[in-house]
């Protein structure tokens, strides 16, 4: 289909060039400056109408060629990401067991299937990456499609594990977060009336919003799953906000976007502060990878603050990323520090003179990480 479109556009461009040559002859033969200027403008307009679409199609072909050239690398990167997410899944399973010892089962009901669903999605990604690898030299289009399937599966699996990592911070402040979410979506419902929204379009969205509010109110009374209610409120509000955006003024949309970003940044700051205290109080039991994740969270929140005024949507995304990383740090189980010599020769637990903090090498690397973050 794209090749056919290119052929049609190319033919149209050829006809345009032929016309422009004729117009140029008229321009060269004219002695009237105004007429010559008008003919020159006509040539430029005609060329722009025909050549710009041709340039766009050529650019898309070039982009596709570039993507195909990097296809093996992108498959390898996705395979590395798959390995990382399998490790995340194991940590998520451990985190679910951990929080199950703190909260009653009904408060975690919506999370129970997450590990199984994430595992199935990662298996799907694994299979798709295998297919992409097999077809990379023989059928690049199918390999691209398989890689896209893998990316989608990885993204969905991340959503499943992130819900587990963020569960404890949500549950620790569940009443505040449910109350804030109910208030925010109630404001959106009011806007549908004030903005005279089309009932045919908005009635289903408003009905879902009311159902989400009912779920949230039930959860506040300890009836139902609070995490599921919070997720319902967030998704219903996102859908309603997206539908209302064209009806709101640009100023209203910008302010709502900033308000959303500030809310996400507040959540991220809360999680990050707890993660910093968690790591600071257990430095000897935290390896470099955990502290690197903490540093990434700090950098993401710093970038969110910088983007708040210029791009609040990007700020929201960065704040959510910061919070996810901080929650992963908080979900990290304590590990015993590792040393290069046999413990039978030197048991750090029995030697009060042994510094249980990080090694010199880790201190240097950590210093580089934190200094690079600004």
- 23-61 burial, b at 16+ Cβ within 10 Å, e below that, comes to eeeebeeeeeeeeeeebeebbeebeeebbebbeebeeee
Does the pLDDT value for residue 67 go beyond 70?
no
pLDDT value for 16: 82
Residues 110 and 146 in one domain: yes
CATH number at residue 109: 1.20.120
Contact between 237 and 287 under an 8 Å Cβ cutoff? The reply is: no
Neighbours of 331 (CB within 10 A): 24
What's the domain range around 63?
2-69
**Domain count across the chain:** 4
Does the pLDDT value for residue 61 go beyond 80?
no
pLDDT digits (tens, 9 = 90+) for 85-141: 999 999 999 999 999 999 999 899 999 999 999 999 999 999 999 999 999 889 988
**Residue reference for tokens 């109408």:** 49
pLDDT value for 66: 65
Residues 189 and 243 in one domain: yes
Residues 43 and 76 in one domain: no
Axis crossing angle, helix 71-100 with helix 114-135, rounded to the nearest 10: 170
| CA of residue 318 relative to chain centroid, distance | 8
Domain boundary among 168, 185, 206: 168
| CA of residue 261 relative to chain centroid, distance | 14
pLDDT digits (tens, 9 = 90+) for 184-236: 999 999 999 999 889 899 999 999 999 999 999 999 998 889 999 999 999 99
pLDDT digits (tens, 9 = 90+) for 246-276: 999 888 888 889 999 999 999 999 999 999 9
Does the pLDDT value for residue 362 go beyond 70?
no
pLDDT value for 127: 97
Residues 99 and 126 in one domain: yes
Q: Which of 31-45, 144-158, 277-291, 355-369 has the lowest mean pLDDT?
A: 355-369
Does the pLDDT value for residue 344 go beyond 80?
no
Question: Quick check: is 350 in a domain?
Answer: no
pLDDT value for 345: 36
CA dist 345 and 52 (Å) reads: 74
Phi, psi of 140 (to 5 degrees): -65, -35
Element (DSSP H or E) covering residue 332: none
Question: Quick check: is 348 in a domain?
Answer: no
Find the Cα–Cα–Cα–Cα dihedral 18, 19, 22, 27, rounded to 10°. Answer: -130
């Amino acid at each position: 289909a794209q090749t056919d479109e290119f052929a049609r556009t190319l033919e149209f461009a050829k006809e345009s060039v032929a016309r422009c040559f004729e117009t140029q002859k008229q321009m060269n033969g004219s002695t009237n400056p105004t007429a010559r200027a008008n003919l020159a403008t006509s040539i430029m307009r005609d060329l722009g109408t025909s050549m710009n679409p041709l340039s766009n199609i050529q650019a898309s072909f070039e982009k596709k060629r570039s993507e195909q050239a990097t296809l093996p690398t992108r498959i390898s990167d996705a395979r590395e990401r798959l390995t990382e997410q399998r490790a995340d899944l194991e940590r998520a399973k451990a985190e679910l067991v951990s929080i199950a010892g703190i909260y009653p089962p009904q408060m975690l009901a919506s999370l129970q299937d997450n590990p199984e669903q994430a595992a199935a999605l990662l298996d799907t990604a694994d299979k798709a990456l295998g297919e992409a690898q097999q077809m990379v030299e023989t059928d690049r289009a199918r390999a691209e499609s398989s890689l896209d399937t893998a990316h989608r599966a990885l993204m969905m699996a991340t959503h499943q594990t992130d819900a587990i990592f963020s569960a404890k911070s949500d549950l620790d402040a569940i009443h505040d977060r449910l109350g804030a979410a109910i208030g925010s979506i109630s404001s959106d419902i009011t806007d549908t009336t004030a903005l005279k929204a089309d009932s045919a379009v908005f009635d289903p969205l408003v009905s879902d919003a009311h159902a989400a509010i009912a779920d949230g109110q039930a959860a506040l009374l300890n009836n139902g799953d609070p995490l599921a209610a919070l997720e319902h409120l967030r998704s219903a509000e996102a859908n309603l906000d997206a539908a209302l955006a064209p009806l709101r003024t640009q100023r209203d949309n910008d302010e709502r976007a900033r308000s959303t970003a500030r809310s996400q940044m507040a959540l991220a700051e809360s999680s990050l502060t707890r993660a910093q205290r968690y790591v600071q109080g257990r430095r000897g039991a935290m390896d470099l990878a955990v502290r690197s994740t903490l540093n990434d969270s700090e950098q993401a929140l710093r970038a969110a603050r910088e983007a708040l005024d210029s791009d609040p949507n990007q700020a929201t995304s960065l704040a959510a990323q910061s919070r996810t990383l901080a929650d992963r740090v908080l979900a990290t189980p304590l590990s015993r520090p590792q040393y290069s010599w046999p413990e039978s020769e030197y048991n750090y637990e029995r030697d009060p003179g042994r510094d249980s903090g990080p090694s010199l090498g880790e201190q240097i690397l950590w210093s580089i990480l934190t200094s690079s973050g600004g």
